[in-house]
């Protein structure tokens, strides 16, 4: 295994690895102690991307890694380490809630997951809690992915489109996918057969790209926005889930519209068109964690 360390002062605005990986953006990393989403400090995280194993740990000043390949360029891409968080914050509107959210969760970055696993994990996310979505992806990898031996331990790749397309709906249901099982199979089949790829959306104007992704079964506007933001680099995408909708009702009532499309347009304008997805991720996370604290009182 190769090893290295990325100096965090080379990542403008810093990095908070745990916030980035445990804020419901990516379901493709696992924590070595298997205690994701339980609120305690993170340790080492690992994933397999393009058949390369990558394990990371954050220290005060670096992001340490060990990998089957030179992981620095991989990590820069996966964790968007070159995004200038201060510039992104400065480019947005001068809003008290937004400012507070940015300050409270410094170093949280938007992820840039590989598109197929991202698409599948967000199809699985419908009506589901983060810990269970994560569990589903782990089960899919264990049942349908390839085993990979690292230091005497077996890890599993995320299944390919072919592997999921050839799985039976029953077998997928047994991964606790529920009614999402046929969606996953159908979508994997569309990609395996070459009929469509998530990347077909690349290059399209944002709303056209969102529309394009809804061709996949199990993908409506919300899931499409997640894939655009967390995999295809559309930083203006704002996934309108129930949490964000209620936040909009409370904090930005003037943006509340009848349709997904119109509410999306209004909130993007309100949060700053270019980086609305970043703003959304911070606000969403801020309100969520604040809610947890209040609930504990």
List residues near DNA by CB under 7 A.
23-25, 125-130, 132-133, 173, 176-180, 183, 214, 216-224, 239, 241-244, 258-259, 284
Q: What three-state secondary structure class fits 64?
A: strand
* Rounded Cα gap, residues 232 and 203, in angstroms: 10
* Rounded Cα gap, residues 237 and 117, in angstroms: 19
Which residue is listed with tokens 């599948």? Answer: 120
Is 213 an annotated catalytic residue? no
For residue 178, how many C-alpha atoms fall within 13 Å in the half-sphere facing its CB?
10
Q: By C-beta, is 6 or 79 nearer to DNA? A: 79
| Strand duo 52-58 + 30-31: pairing | unpaired
**What tokens appear for 160 in the block?**
């390919």
User: Quick one: which of 70, 68, 65, 69 has its CA closest to 15?
Assistant: 65
- Cβ distance 256 to 74 under 8 Å? no
How many CB atoms neighbour CB 99 within 10 A? 14
User: Quick one: which of 87, 200, 216 has its CA closest to 164?
Assistant: 216
Q: Report the length, in residues, of the chain.
A: 297
- Cβ distance 279 to 92 under 8 Å? yes
In angstroms, the Cα distances linking 279 to 105, 265, 284 are: 12, 14, 8
Q: By C-beta, is 24 or 272 nearer to DNA? A: 24
User: Quick one: which of 245, 242, 206 has its CA closest to 224?
Assistant: 206
Catalytic residue among 31, 109, 222, 286: 222
Catalytic residue numbers read: 222
């Amino acid at each position: 295994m190769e090893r290295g360390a990325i100096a965090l002062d080379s990542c403008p605005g810093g990095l908070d690895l745990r916030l980035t990986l445990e804020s419901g953006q990516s379901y493709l990393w696992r924590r070595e102690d298997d205690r994701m989403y339980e609120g305690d400090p993170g340790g080492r995280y690992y994933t397999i991307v393009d058949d390369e194993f990558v394990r990371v740990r954050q220290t005060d000043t670096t992001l340490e890694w060990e990998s089957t390949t030179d992981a620095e360029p991989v990590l820069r891409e996966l964790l968007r380490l070159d995004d200038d968080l201060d510039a992104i914050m400065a480019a947005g509107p001068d809003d008290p809630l937004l400012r507070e959210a940015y300050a409270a969760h410094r170093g949280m970055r938007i992820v840039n997951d590989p598109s197929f696993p991202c698409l599948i994990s967000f199809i699985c996310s419908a009506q589901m809690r983060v810990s269970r979505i994560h569990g589903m992806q782990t089960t899919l990898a264990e049942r349908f992915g390839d085993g990979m031996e690292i230091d005497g331990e077996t890890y599993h790749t995320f299944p390919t489109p072919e592997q999921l397309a050839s799985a039976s709906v029953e077998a997928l249901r047994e991964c606790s996918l529920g009614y999402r099982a046929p969606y996953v199979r159908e979508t994997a089949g569309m990609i395996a057969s070459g009929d469509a790829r998530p990347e077909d959306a690349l290059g399209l104007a944002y709303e056209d790209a969102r529309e394009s992704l809804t061709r996949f079964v199990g993908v409506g506007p919300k899931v499409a926005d997640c894939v655009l933001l967390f995999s295809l680099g559309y930083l203006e995408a704002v996934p309108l889930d129930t949490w964000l909708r209620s936040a909009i009702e409370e904090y930005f009532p003037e943006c509340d519209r009848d349709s997904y499309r119109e509410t999306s347009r209004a909130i993007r304008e309100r949060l700053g068109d270019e980086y609305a997805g970043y703003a959304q991720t911070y606000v969403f996370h801020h309100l969520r964690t604040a809610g947890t604290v209040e609930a504990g009182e």
